[in-house]
Amino acid sequence: MRGNSRSQEDIDMGKITGFLEFSRELPEDRKPEERLRDWQEFHQPMSEDKLRQQGARCMDCGIPFCHTGNLLAGMASGCPIHNLIPEWNDLVYRGLWREALERLHKTNNFPDFTGRVCPAPCEGSCVLGMHQPPVTIKNLEYAIIEKGFAEGWVTAQPPAQRTGKSVAIVGSGPAGLSCAAQLNRAGHLVTVYERADRIGGLLMYGIPNMKLDKAVVQRRVDLLAQEGIRFVTRCEVGRDLPAGKLLQDFDAVVLCGGATRPRDLAVPGRELSGVHFAMEFLTANTRHLLDPQVPYINAAGKDVIVIGGGDTGTDCCGTALRHGCRSLIQLEIMPQLPPERAADNPWPQWPKVHKLDYGQAEAAAVFGADPRQYLVTVKQCLGAGDVQALEIVRVEWKKDAQGRLTPAVVAGSEQRLPAQLVLLAMGFLGPEDGLLKALQVEQDARSNVKAEHGKFTTNIPGIFAAGDMRRGQSLVVWAINEGRGAARECDRYLMGEVSEALR
């Protein structure tokens, strides 16, 4: 790549003393007071010189853990799609951006998504992170792909030949899209069915625009269409299209419908108007942004309470703030995480530490404090027709007779909080099972599709499953891992061996 004459610095990975010379730097975000006035992404671009310095911090560690993608004691460690992180860090440092893009696309179909929304388990496993702040892997990934689009390097790459085999993919989230991209690359004819009006699944409607601009999603969908993938929207398989037609019309089927069954709040008053699942709120908001004629759930002027402390809860906070809510509280039944790794959460596991995410930072800028309250649960929703308040109570975690930690109510700790909008962001229980029952696909004890990771095969020959529908609620990067893996095994089923394009 650089000719035959190579200096010692060329041979070594990165700048050998870079991690000693340069501190970790991230691009500045737009100030909350400014970004709360619109729905645009809030991260600012970073200069190329700064980016190259950040690439130089990659320390040429003997055994890099950043791209291992393992689970250690049930905790994520490293990149699930095994991104070639040290390689493209080095290439960024050297200013070889197009080569960095080639390395990035070898393992990741959609760095334009993960560079924005992935929590970066790779950084939690960075060797440098044992002693210093880790390398800014996620930001470098984002910079590489956006430079690729800006320079016109990212173009449609349709397969040179077609196999004549056809595959139906149900669901167009990150698992479905990555599976479609890989199967199309192998030359199969791929049709993706999506019940919503736009392609993208949670990428389109589950993640707010300020985190992932919908033009970015559509940009990638357009490329996939140019490569020959057929997209069918407003089509719910099992309702608008009989489930049995899939196996009649296609040589194989991959189920990527996600884990879309939300955990509900089983308390008196749940039925009151103004109590909504988080996805109702977020989806309607994005639909309204894309088409102002579509009605949405407006938080303007309301006391808003978000129940749930994860990413979806944070997105609800950011959305409610942009509407102009009167007050905002986020309730979490678990205790606050420690400021540093606990003894049972060692490197290279993902660090379970307290952080101020964008939604909480924005709330603090508006109302003067982090909106989260820990170790509380809801006792009942109060109101007459419309919700007007929540009665909450404090809890403490104690071991039961079997030694399991369970929340116990703290006597006398009841409190009433005003609320005209309550958003339930307590996670998801598994997939909707109407289609699965129609296809007679087996489910496991957690209601997910029963299919072994690495094989992705269901009990029905020719039907595969991937993503949250198979593994349960997880990360976008894990969904991409699953979609790519299911594509490989589906290709093996169709062709007898894995095609060269997918090896």
In the chain, the largest separation of any two C-alpha atoms, in whole Å, equals 80
pTM: 0.94
Beta strand ranges found along 280-375 (DSSP E): 303-307, 327-332, 372-374
Percent helix / strand / coil, the chain, rounded to 5: 35, 20, 45
Dump the DSSP string for 207-242.
Answer: S-TTTS-HHHHHHHHHHHHHTT-EEE-S--BTTTB-
Read off the tokens for 101. Answer: 């893009």
10-residue stretch averages of pLDDT, the chain, 503 residues long: 40 73 94 96 94 93 88 84 94 97 97 97 94 96 98 97 98 98 98 98 97 98 98 97 94 97 97 98 98 97 96 97 98 96 92 95 97 98 98 95 91 97 97 96 96 96 98 95 98 97 93
Residues listed for the chain: 503
**Closest by alpha carbon to 212, among 318, 299, 107, 307?**
318
- pLDDT, residue 317, reads 98
**Closest by alpha carbon to 227, among 176, 173, 190?**
190
Cα–Cα distance for residue pair 88/250, rounded to 1 Å: 39
- Tell the CATH topology of 166-260+429-502: FAD/NAD(P)-binding domain (3.50.50)
Instruction: Return mean pLDDT, the chain.
Output: 94
The pLDDT tens digits of the residues spanning 395-413 come to 999 988 888 999 999 999 9
Fold identical between 8-150 and 264-426?
A: no
| Boundaries of every domain in the chain | 8-150, 166-260+429-502, 264-426
CATH 1.10.1060.10 fits 8-150, yes or no: yes
- Cα 27 to Cα 24, 46, 136: the distances in Å are 10, 5, 10
Which CATH number is 264-426's, of 3.40.50.2300, 3.30.930.10, 3.50.50.60, 2.60.40.10?
3.50.50.60
Read off the tokens for 173. Answer: 């989230």
Q: Helix, strand, or coil here: 179? A: helix
Q: What are phi and psi of 170, to 5 degrees?
A: -100, 110
